Amino acid sequence: MDVHFSMSSFLSIVLQALLSSSHGSLEPYDLLYNNAVDAFYRSDYKDVVRYMEGALSSYAVVRQTKVRCRLRCQDQHPFDSVTMDLQFFDVVLRRSNCQNECVEEKVGTQSMHKVSEDVNQDFQRRIPYNYLQLAYQKLKQLDKAAAAAHTYFQANPEHVEMDQNLEQYKALEGTDQDHFVDREARPHQRSFSAGVKLYDSADYKGAIAQFEEALQEYYKADVECRALCQGPQRFEEQDHVLYRYSLYELVSDHFTQALHCEHECVRDLSTRPGRLSPMENYLPLHYDYLQFAYFQMNMVEEAMECAQSYLLFHEGDEFMTENVEYYREAVGHDVKPREKAEWYLRRHKQELELLVIGSENMHVEFTEGHYWTSTGGREDSNRIPSGTDGWMEYVPISEKKNFTLAPPQELREGGPLVYDSVQLVQNSKALNGTQRVLLDDVISVDECAKLTNLAHTVTMAGDGYRGKMSPHTPNERFEGATVLKTLQYGYEGRVPLKSARLFYDASERARRIIESYFLLNSTLHFSYTHLVCRTAIAGQQDHRNDLSHPIHADNCLLDPEANECWKEPPAYTYRDYSALLYLNGDFEGGEFIFTEMDAKTVTAQVKPKCGRMVGFSSGGENPHGVRAVTRGQRCAVALWFTLDPLFRELERLQADEVMQALDNQSSQSQWDTSLNINPKDEL
């Protein structure tokens, strides 16, 4: 059975059925997603599947509906005939009204509400499939569990436990290779990958069919991507509650954001799920593969057409030019490039130039019936076209900032520990790394007990995490509080003020130790301070092999497959040092681990206990994570520091003011009880 065909056919039928209904029955995908998560915590795995599959279907329908409606309204209300400002605004308003009416007609008003950014990010990161694979596993539907696990892993290749799950599924009786399908595979990338495999096996006829399909799907995906850019835009740099610019400036800002979104489509279509950078030379490679595959099938005119198309993107390329000359002599006349390629390049030349420059590519040159590589060596019939040695990494030179092993100053360690009670347990050498330290007795047993009790009181009061009580694994509950929040509770009498002050003082003690031990020649500032507990959820620990916190680095985006760590947003690139001060050890699991950049090879392991602290530099030299907490509750003070005063923690500065007021025994301390504090998920 062709699994890809049946899966896509099924989805197509579902979409058509749902889209054909008017005023509908489509339930909002964020509501379905929330119901599925609730069902997971109730261990109602049938409902998990029902709601989560419904959420995924609803999400796909809403997306496809927006594409269709925006393209239809774009055709009905074009800008081509606009000659005056008022006509332009008239088209904008008519197009917007058309889109809203169209979407409402297809999916119903209830599915048109604004979905939170967190939920949309979960769908983009394929988080629903993590829940699904666990639910299907519990229901003994291993074929579906394998597909869900494979789908999730494609976008989260750093997830070591899911990799292990997949290996276990492959070893189980009742599962076969056809079950490991990517349910979210993008058609243009799937066809391209299939074409490469057929090409490598010398099945040139099959490869041609796949590459031609990949081109059609690519151009279709490009149209859809640009259509999705036509909707409301986010203005992150401006507060539009206070935004008082003119109508012209508002419209200009909107279309600037929309153009930026469209500009990113070329990059997006060239990037595999889970990868940080697009494949260099992606679109031209289709024509490069095709020109040689057609040549192998003795279809020389088609080969020449594809070679000419490639030259549109790489004008004057020496080896492809020589191929064209060879083809021209063989057919006896000239052949033009493909019209679609010419049209696309005219419209998107600037965007494409970012992804096709800088390649020292291999091409085929034909001479006297033989073909030769650019290095002069004779090749066999499985010649690999230019730039196809895997999915290549690419970031424009101005943006490429992968990590350096050293922080922005000389690497040193071994300074004084500041406090007499603190004991050095292991240095970097003993921990098999660089800029690492393990210390004991940073705080006393009594202080651990007070901070643990504080955590139980403050975190149970609920800091929300934007609704995410299990941001890292569905098998644990994650709760925490900031210094300022804790001091506020102490000031209000909801927790002992001495305990709240202890949290503040203990974090300052940790900062001073890290600053001194690593012999930093400038002040280390707080970037973020978090009192956090992870609690194993009863009934969800059987056969568990995921992590409490996946392997990551604190100031860069870890790419285990490429052995790189990209220092770029959304990573907290300004963080320089990190520390974890543990409050207890009476739980199972929960070991802190350092790994190599492959996110698999463990280099050191730390068992938490009261008063123990691990400190390290925050870059790609120190990937780390937390093993699963399988019983009990693990509490710690998590700390991140920066050497740049511009990135000091705002809440810490406010906490400093509160402490100063308390030290001055001021009964009239200024306090804003309406502070809107929304702590971040621990990274």
Active site (catalytic) residues: 634
Query: With helix as H, strand as E and coil as C, how does 580-644 read?
Result: EEECCCCCEECCEEEECCCCCCEEEEECCCCCCEEEEECCCCCCEEEECEEECEEEEEEEEEECC
Q: Can you tell me which residue has the tokens 């102490």?
A: 490
**Residue ranges in 445-573 assigned as alpha helix (H):** 445-460, 483-491, 497-517
CA distance 249 to 664: 49
Secondary structure of residue 449 in the 3-state scheme: helix
Secondary structure of residue 190 in the 3-state scheme: helix
* Residue 533, strand partner residues: 479, 635
Task: Give yes or no for a contact between 485 and 677, defined as CB atoms under 8 angstroms apart.
Answer: yes
Helix axes 300-313, 282-296, angle to 10 degrees: 160
CA distance 314 to 109: 48
> What are the CB-based long-range contacts (under 8 Å, 24+) for 28-35?
28/58, 28/110, 28/111, 28/113, 28/115, 29/54, 29/55, 29/56, 29/58, 29/59, 29/62, 29/111, 29/115, 29/119, 29/123, 30/55, 30/115, 30/116, 30/119, 32/58, 33/119, 33/122, 33/123, 33/128
Task: Give yes or no for a contact between 60 and 107, defined as CB atoms under 8 angstroms apart.
Answer: no
Task: Give yes or no for a contact between 51 and 18, defined as CB atoms under 8 angstroms apart.
Answer: no
Which stretch of DSSP H or E encloses residue 87? helix 85-107
Q: Going by C-beta distance under 8 Å and a sequence separation of 6 or more, which residues neighbour residue 130?
A: 148, 152, 162, 474
Displacement of CA 626 from its chain's centroid (Å): 19
DSSP state of 562: T
CA distance 677 to 371: 66
